[in-house]
Amino acid sequence: MTETAAETRGFQTEARKLLKLMINSLYSNREIFLRELISNASDAIDRLRFDALNDESLIADDPEFRIVVSFDKDAGTVSIADNGIGMTREEAIEHLGTIAKSGTEEFFEHLTGDQRKDSALIGQFGVGFYSSFIVAKEVEVLTRRAGQGQEEGTRWASAGEEDFTVEAAPDLPRGTRVTLTLKPDATEFADGFRLRSVVRRYSDHVGVPVMMAKEEYGGEDDEDEGDEKGDKQEPALETVNAAKALWTRPRTDIGDDEYKEFYKHVSHDFEDPALWSHNKVEGKLEYTSLLYVPKRAPFDLWNRELPKGLKLYVQRVFIMDDADQFLPLYLRFVRGIVDSSDLPLNVSRELLQEDDRVRSIKNALTKRTLDMLAKMAPDDYGPIWDEFGQVLKEGIGEDFANKDALLGLLRFASTHDDDPKQRTSLKDYIARMANPDADAEQEGVTGEGEDEGEAAGEGGDASKPKGSDKIYYLVAESDAAARQSPHLEVFRKHGVEVLLLTDRIDEWWLSFAQEFEGKEFQDVARGELDWGGEDGDGEAGAKGAKDDKQDEPVLKRIGEVLDGKVESVRRSKRLTDSPACLVLGENDMGAQMRRMMEVTGQSVPDSKPHLEVNLAHPLIMRLDQEPDEDRFKDLVSIIFDQASLAEGNTVAEPGAYVQRINKLLVDLLAA
Ligand code: ADP
């Protein structure tokens, strides 16, 4: 059955591209190859340790797990050997010749050709085994799978260009030995001092001993001697790293750098994490967790099916990657480990799903993560919000128990600030609601009116309408569209702040959120504005205001023209500058949700908007006096279509709209 012949195979196209890119773009950070190979070795050992729980014979011949790093200065080689799970010939071909990673396609789509940007991306993608080729002109992998016979080993070799060879290799020990023949400009790594320092820097947290040959002369001045250390004749080994799983150590003993390196090990991320939380819980349930929030969202953040979750350990034994039962889906960007003392070693994904202990740990880890985010300084949280805010919004619809905590984490663009990049929290919004002049006072307005606390003359509190005690928001396609919306006119006039929402899931999560800290959410484009006593009829109010009875004829006339297109035509309390706007019924589906459902081919409930008309607007006043019935109809159609455009919708018959406008222009120019 065993294939013995040497065989040459081409790298998968993506693998080839990745190799090339890596070699070019990671040049300035070459030493990470060692971290990546030790990380792989340690994973291989973790996996064998796990398999051996059920079948001790797998490790009986060599039960002491270890990783050995060696070098040969003369030959210019560095080797990393582990006695972990090893690979079969098929596995070597599959794992070392292709990229099995999810998101590979997106990854390549994101590449820009700009080396600096691309190297950050590649780090995020995870470099792994291929990082060998940053320093090596040739890589040889000798590997034998645990449980396979002595004769069934495999040699894999490649110069990292187009192809690799595989052939049978007898008499290999269990596990994998990767030997790099260094490029001429990377021979500095064939050096005990250099390797030791890189191992300590990057791999101190690895739970397995990383061993090197004992240095004979104290190690201080051995770098320039080039003394033949004869690592071919089984030199005495010493452990170079701390070899204790990082999370089992007390927090006070662990430096930030160690936490950061450990993060890179578990996440395969290249960048430092944004923050982390390390906790040991004792009592009814005993477990340790170490959770990290990355700096950047992965490419595949939007694919809810992709691998996510924590590395699960039970009593320090690695059990599985991507254990996604310990965090809710909307926290799928969190990385880290959980080590439980209570779960059985033979726990499976199915069992995790049903286990009450797992559920309790999940609840605690969810709270801990939200708490860690809530405690961040605003400046630090801003970038995290930009990366992960949209996923956090999913939580509002999915995690009822933590809804308030999640609402507290939301950030919004708002009419409070013209800069769309400035974000506000709901807490800030509510604070300004009570004291809308807070900012103005800081800017020195206080001097003018000494009557502290009293309404400050014109603007501000004095004209703030009763009943505006809600969290007002507007949903639009873009920030620019939101800021130009006619729905904001009356809010601007009265200095009432409105949150501007432009994420595609905003209407969705809002359907799960009725209030925050006792303040109701209110869509400004929906329902009747119930501000007591205010008519909002604008600057021309005194002149143009008519009482409701007198309004009826023109509203009714408009209604007849728009029959079938609108639910009703009514007098507006929200416009100051625009002639009309479309308003949704309190329970109608919003435009965003409607579009989303249409795109996904779902049937959308039938509902028509209300047309609200600004009776004080010159156009409406003129319209009211239009004797020519045809012209009246044209004007009404134009006003309706424009109201639709202002909502970010299209008009039903663009050609007819353009014709009507042109007719008006011709009349105007002829006059
Ligand atoms: P990653 O580790 O992110 O999966 P790599 O490119 O580093 O990606 O490795 C690809 C695969 O090759 C690993 O997932 C593993 O299956 C296999 N592999 C790499 N190194 C070893 C090793 N030392 N022992 C056993 N398998 C290994």
**What pLDDT is recorded for position 587?**
81
Q: Indicate whether 68 and 24 sit together in one domain.
A: yes
**What pLDDT is recorded for position 306?**
74
Q: Indicate whether 299 and 321 sit together in one domain.
A: yes
Q: Please report, for the domain that includes residue 111, its CATH number.
A: 3.30.565.10
Total domains in the fold of the chain: 4
Q: What is the DSSP string of 252-298?
A: GG--HHHHHHHHHHHH--SSPEEEEEEEEE-SSS-EEEEEEEESS--
Give the largest Cα separation in the chain, rounded.
Answer: 108
Q: Which of 243, 267, 300 is the last residue of a domain?
A: 243
d(CA 301, CA 490): 39
Residue 291 CA to ligand 1 center (angstroms) comes to 23
Q: Indicate whether 225 and 283 sit together in one domain.
A: no
Structural domain includes residue 399: no
Residue nearest to atom 3 of ligand 1 (CA): 128
Q: Please report, for the domain that includes residue 658, its CATH number.
A: 1.20.120.790
Task: Residue 656: give the domain boundaries.
Answer: 536-671
Q: Indicate whether 27 and 80 sit together in one domain.
A: yes
Q: Please report, for the domain that includes residue 501, its CATH number.
A: 3.40.50.11260
Question: Is the Cβ atom of 79 under 6 angstroms away from ligand 1?
Answer: no
Q: What is the DSSP string of 547-569?
A: -HHHHHHHHHHHHHHTTTT-SEE
**What pLDDT is recorded for position 232?**
52
**What pLDDT is recorded for position 537?**
42
The helix-helix angle for 115-125 and 13-25 (nearest 10°) equals: 120
Q: Indicate whether 260 and 126 sit together in one domain.
A: no
Q: Please report, for the domain that includes residue 278, its CATH number.
A: 3.30.230.80
Q: Indicate whether 65 and 152 sit together in one domain.
A: yes
Q: Indicate whether 20 and 165 sit together in one domain.
A: yes
Structural domain includes residue 202: yes
Identify whether the C-beta of residue 609 lies closer than 8 Å to the C-beta of residue 584: yes
**What pLDDT is recorded for position 292?**
98
By three-state DSSP, how is residue 98 classified? coil
Question: Is the Cβ atom of 126 under 6 angstroms away from ligand 1?
Answer: yes
32, 40, 107, best to mutate for ligand 1 pocket (most atoms within 8 Å of CB): 40
**What pLDDT is recorded for position 9?**
93
**What pLDDT is recorded for position 317?**
87
Q: Indicate whether 177 and 38 sit together in one domain.
A: yes
Residue nearest to atom 16 of ligand 1 (CA): 95
Q: Which of 200, 216, 243 is the last residue of a domain?
A: 243
**Cα 104–109–113 angle (5° rounding)?**
115
Question: Is the Cβ atom of 129 under 6 angstroms away from ligand 1?
Answer: yes
Structural domain includes residue 190: yes
Q: Indicate whether 14 and 137 sit together in one domain.
A: yes
Question: Is the Cβ atom of 102 under 6 angstroms away from ligand 1?
Answer: no
Mean pLDDT per 10-residue interval, the chain, length 671 residues? 76 84 77 91 94 93 95 97 97 88 74 73 75 94 95 94 93 97 96 94 88 73 48 77 91 94 88 95 94 89 81 90 94 96 87 92 97 95 95 95 97 94 94 67 36 37 62 93 92 92 92 94 86 45 43 86 92 89 86 81 85 92 89 93 88 91 90 78
Strand arrangement of the beta sheet that strand 136-144 belongs to = 7-10, 163-168, 154-158, 136-144, 175-182, 77-82, 67-72, 210-213, 237-239
Structural domain includes residue 450: yes
Residue 226 CA to ligand 1 center (angstroms) comes to 32
Structural domain includes residue 407: no
Q: Indicate whether 516 and 651 sit together in one domain.
A: no
Structural domain includes residue 403: no
Residue nearest to atom 21 of ligand 1 (CA): 40
Structural domain includes residue 531: no
pTM for this entry? 0.76
Q: Indicate whether 251 and 367 sit together in one domain.
A: yes
Can you tell me which residue has the tokens 């008499």?
Answer: 171
Q: Which of 217, 243, 269 is the last residue of a domain?
A: 243
Q: Indicate whether 355 and 443 sit together in one domain.
A: no
Question: Is the Cβ atom of 97 under 6 angstroms away from ligand 1?
Answer: no
Structural domain includes residue 400: no
